[in-house]
Structure 1
């Protein structure tokens, strides 16, 4: 340790009192011995200057008290051992008092300057410590990566404390010959401040007193902040994930509620599930009844693997086979099979897949599969997150089946009703109507065979025969209303042509060249046109009706409009209400627009499948 005057003045602490007293005694003894050895011709005033270094060193190093005592001891030694006559102490002489005064003033000034210097150095240290603490706080409490900030914090510590280098390492590190270690342990923090070996004890003590507590507190706060930030980020990501899932599920629920076709729902489920799970490929597949194959029903980014609507054989080692056998969610982390599907998945870069069963009621309908093209397995919660999507898919399937069953049931009711009408019409035509015609013919024969003198009876019989003829005509009208026989004989186009010809108002028909429709659809179209013509004649007072029928893409479109009074309201009750129910029973829809004074337009659309 250097003992230069500047170093002595900048020391932050005094040495122990015994060391200071010993230093003072040694200085006085050495200076007295040196003065005694000088030639006797040396001026006395020059000799007393030899005591100044000791007074300066002791006063600056050990403080004002020991400095003053050293000044007094130096004066006594100078008067006792150097000034003639030696071994004679003369404390009352002017020379003694002058030397004492000079030495005391020098000690007093040196001590005061030393105290002021130490005070300024302490303030500088305090400012440096505060600046270091502020720098470390700004660094450690704001950094997004605490580990990366530790070398910068160590550099600040080395700069402030004047060290060649310093390092802060995680964990507890023992000291070594090349370095000293200061543990930083506060709560859960485990780190070590490493500094060069051989530092002065005051510097090490200052590091222990100033740097270590600040670093411990700041590291603890930084760790807590990092934990809070990480937790908040994780919670935010989870909340964002939940929000995305809920938005996707809400969109799918809207599709299901609006009875969107299942194929569209399947594609939407695959798309939303892929986006929520962050997977590259998703597919909705249906197991066939034979239990050995499945068919893709909805896909997202899966066409390059398997096209939608493809029928595939179940393969061992695939997630679809696993779900089929277990009826539970499952995953495959690697496709190692030799089957065609396994090879194709490997070729397309698929590493792993997670599948969830789609249960409709108690039956296994199909499977939802999410696949990843990254080597890392899909997250552990993937199956749980997929369950809500499969539940919505099952709801869409159940709704579609219920709707399909309802349509089929209504169609069966319509078919049964038409069959009943046809049977009644046939019975009336072949039974009652034929009997009435026979009765009428017999009455005409009796009328012709009666003698002239029974003219009155002949007239009565003739009137009765005409009544029978009228009954036959009315019965024919009733039969046509129950079931138009012309449909069975000639088809829809001739039947509509006959309807238009019989109408009392002009009818313009626009029909396709051929109308190849199943019978129940022909009957429905016929009844709609018949009822519309009746209403246009009776209620709308129209003088012209336009009928337009098109059949394309398995969809029947029928448009009927008149130039009548308008203002028709099906809710008030008319034959159109029953026809609307009939159209709905066949899976179609009918719309009536009838503004007052603007005529009436009837639009009907009925999907059909060729039989």
Structure 2
């Protein structure tokens, strides 16, 4: 009932008047009904009372809903009906008296007053409706802004914690589709051969999918082609008559219009962020700006990822170069200095054997020199082992077993590596294990070390724990810091926990694939 009353008031006091024909019907209906009411009142309630006010109701209703002309006509017709009813049944010989003119005049005044008041009411209703719409639009804008800011914060959080492109790209597509309420949102990356590849996409359920990895030509008319040519945001409000294979594919997806913004990384157009709609009306005018807000974050994420990849590759190249230098030094020491020392030792032994028996003092001196050369050779051999672990030539497993046997602290080794791994990973794991065992013996006062090594297709994991005194401070140990740098240079991670009194544990995770940019 309340809804019906509200709709009736809205109809009567709306910004535009209802059609004239219903107004005439309403006016005639009111006059007939009012006459019937006056007749019943005069015959059954108060025979001597005129009840002319009843006829004003129809005039007020018509004045509220229709124009001045129909209001005046309704007023005059109501007055004539009242006069006729008063003189019934002598209607045909009815003389128009001064009283009758007064009735008509009063009715016209009431009509004009009702029309004026209805106009004021209509104006106020229109103002109230306008304010209501503005308030709703303002609330919608604030809600949209709040949603977009929340979405941007979520994406910015991913970028700040250096999330991978595989995490950032789908998140951007999802947030764009949700914030802009579009059927399609995607990130396209431009290729050197003049095509573009979809790297992330979010499709509305029920819409034909555009799979990630799909390659598109940039010939013809399309938003990706326009963005690449201009380096600026672009839009196509209708793909209905657009030329090109990409436009055909977009029409097949059921998309009518699209808006895109460039992703600019280090001054070059890396790709584009696109939103599309299947609705007939164009996307809102502020769509370009809203999409651009997200592309800025995407560009930051890409730039960060590229910078991190370049840094990792650079560090890996430095580590690889250092390993090569160590290998050359170790080989030079082994093949050069050590061999010469051995040769000199043999010659001196030969000379010692040829010394006459009466020259025992000389034989003793030569023997002493030979012993010294042997010691120097052994020292040099130990130095060369520290420069580059030659025992890795047999693989990581045998090398770690050798380390465990040489350790002054008993080592329980749980080895799950049954194949050769990339040299960089083996060398890094060897140095990590060697440093950990050395620290356990020299500083941790440990009585037992547990080491576990395992490798799958993609990752090598090295876990070492001792039962020493703990409390190790990696900031004060250049060896540990250097190992952390070496592990991270390969794209891995090393975690160290050393609570006081509870031993030290180390976990190194080393990827078995070389970082991008490393030969």
Q: TM-score range by the shorter chain?
A: 0.7 to 0.9
| 1:217 Cα deviation from its structure 2 partner | 3.1
Q: Which residue in 2 is equivalent to 1:280?
A: 183
Query: d(CA) in 2 for partners of 1:208 and 1:462?
Result: 139
Shift of 1:496: 1.7
Number of aligned positions between the proteins = 453
Give 1:165 shift: 7.7
Instruction: Evaluate the alpha carbon distance shift between residue 551 and residue 262 of structure 1 in structure 2; reply closer, same or farther with a 3 A threshold.
Output: same
Paired with 1:393 and 1:418, the residues of 2 have a C-alpha distance of 37
Show the 5 A alignment for 1:432-511. 432-487=337-392, 489-511=393-415
Runs of 5+ unmatched residues, structure 1: 1-137, 183-193
Matched, 1:147 2:14: yes
User: Is the 8 Å Cα contact of residues 232 and 262 (structure 2) preserved in structure 1?
Assistant: yes
User: Following TM superposition, by how much is the alpha carbon of 1:254 offset from its aligned partner in structure 2, in angstroms?
Assistant: 0.6
CA deviations 1:548-576 (Å, max 9, x no partner) are 12222522211111233333222232522
- Cα pair distance change 1:335/1:493, threshold 3 Å: farther
Match of 2:509 in 1: 605
Pick the aligned partner of 1:242 from 145, 151, 174: 145
Identify unmatched segments of 5+ residues in structure 2: 31-53, 80-103
Give the TM-score of the pair, scaled to structure 1: 0.68
Deviation larger for 380-389 or 563-572: 563-572
C-alpha separation in 2, matches of 1:230 and 1:329 = 31
The verdict on how the C-alpha distance between 1:204 and 1:364 changes in structure 2, with shifts beyond 3 A counting, is same
How far is 1:606 from its partner? 2.1
Are 1:586 and 2:490 an aligned pair? Answer: yes
Out of 289, 292, 299, the position equivalent to 1:387 is 292
Partners of 2:190 and 2:197 within 8 A in 1 = yes
Structure 2 vs 1, CA of residues 338 and 232 (structure 1 numbering), >3 Å: closer, same or farther? closer
Alpha-carbon separation, structure 2, partners of 1:197 and 1:263: 79
| Residues 23-76 of structure 1: CA deviation (Å, up to 9, x unaligned) | xxxxxxxxxxxxxxxxxxxxxxxxxxxxxxxxxxxxxxxxxxxxxxxxxxxxxx
TM-score (structure 2 length as normaliser): 0.80
Change (3 A) 1:239 1:143: farther
Q: Indicate which of 548, 570, 573 corresponds to 2:474.
A: 570
Task: Classify the secondary structure of the residue corresponding to 1:294.
Answer: strand
**Which residue number in structure 2 is paired with residue 162 of structure 1?**
57
Relative to structure 1, is the Cα distance of residues 491 and 261 closer, same or farther in structure 2, using a 3 angstrom cutoff?
same
Structure 1 residue 400: deviation in Å?
0.5
Q: Report matched runs for 1:211-226 at 5 Å.
A: 211-226=114-129
In the TM superposition, what is the alpha-carbon distance from 1:278 to its structure 2 partner? 0.6
Whether the 8 Å CA contact 1:515–1:551 is kept in 2: the answer is no
Residue range with higher mean Cα deviation, 253-262 or 555-564: 555-564
Q: Larger C-alpha radius of gyration, 1 or 2?
A: 1
CA distance 1:180–1:566, change in 2 (3 Å) = closer
Between the aligned partners of 1:144 and 1:607, the Cα distance in structure 2 is 73
- The corresponding residue for 1:262 is 165
Matched, 1:371 2:371: no
How far is 1:414 from its partner?
0.6
- Asked if the contact 1:314/1:321 (under 8 Å) is kept, the reply is yes
After superposition, the Cα gap between the structure-2 partners of 1:527 and 1:358, relative to the gap in structure 1 and judged at 3 Å, is same
- 1:528 lines up with 2:423 in the alignment: no
Distance apart, 1:585 and its partner CA? 1.9
Separation in structure 1 between the aligned mates of residue 451 and residue 301 of structure 2, nearest angstrom: 38
Corresponding residue of 2:198: 296
Q: Retained in 2: the 8 A contact 1:317–1:337?
A: yes
Matches within 5 A, 1:167-182: 167=62, 175=69, 179-180=70-71
Contact 2:55 2:78 (8 Å CA) reproduced? no
CA distance in 1, matches of 2:75, 2:399: 108
Q: Residues 144 and 232 from structure 1, CA distance in 2 versus in 1: closer, same or farther, beyond 3 angstroms? A: farther
8 Å contact from structure 2 (residues 186, 274) kept in 1 = yes
| Other structure's SS at 1:464 match | helix
**Local SS of the residue matching 2:373:** helix
C-alpha distance in structure 2 between counterparts of 1:550 and 1:427, whole Å: 33
- The counterpart of 2:215, out of the listed 299, 308, 311, is 311
Query: 2: distance between equivalents of 1:214 and 1:550?
Result: 90
C-alpha displacement at 1:335, in angstroms? 4.3
8 Å contact 2:68–2:112 — kept in the other structure?
no
Do the aligned residues in 1 keep the contact of 2:198 with 2:213 (CA within 8 Å)?
Answer: yes
Distance between the aligned counterparts of 2:159 and 2:220, measured in 1? 33
The structure-2 alpha-carbon separation of the partners of 1:344 and 1:170, relative to structure 1 and needing over 3 Å to count, comes to farther
Displacement of 1:604: 0.9
Distance 1:181 1:284, change over 3 A: farther
- 1:141-171 CA distance string (max 9 Å, x none): x9699529977xx989x77823368435899
CA contact (8 A) 1:318 1:335 kept: no
CA distance in structure 2 between the aligned counterparts of 1:545 and 1:281, rounded to whole angstroms: 57
RMSD value over aligned CA atoms?
Answer: 3.0
Query: Which secondary structure does the structure 1 equivalent of 2:235 belong to?
Result: strand
1:339 offset after TM fit, Å? Answer: 5.7
Q: SS where residue 350 of structure 1 aligns?
A: coil
In 1: Cα distance, 2:507 partner to 2:76 partner = 95
Give the whole-Å Cα distance in 2 for the aligned partners of 1:180 and 1:595: 94
The equivalent residue for 1:552 is: 456
Aligned-partner SS, 1:571? helix
Q: 3-state DSSP class of the match of 2:513?
A: coil
User: Structure 1, residues 105-139: CA drift from partner, whole Å, max 9, x if none?
Assistant: xxxxxxxxxxxxxxxxxxxxxxxxxxxxxxxxx97
**Structure 2: how far apart are the matches of 1:208 and 1:170?**
13
Distance apart, 1:461 and its partner CA = 2.4
The answer (yes or no) to whether the contact 1:252–1:392 under 8 Å persists in 2 is: yes
Q: CA deviation at 1:395?
A: 0.7
Contact 1:253 1:392 in 2 (8 A): yes
Task: Give the Cα separation in 1 of the matches to 2:454 and 2:320.
Answer: 23
Which whole-Å CA distance do the structure 1 matches of 2:445 and 2:479 have between them?
Answer: 17
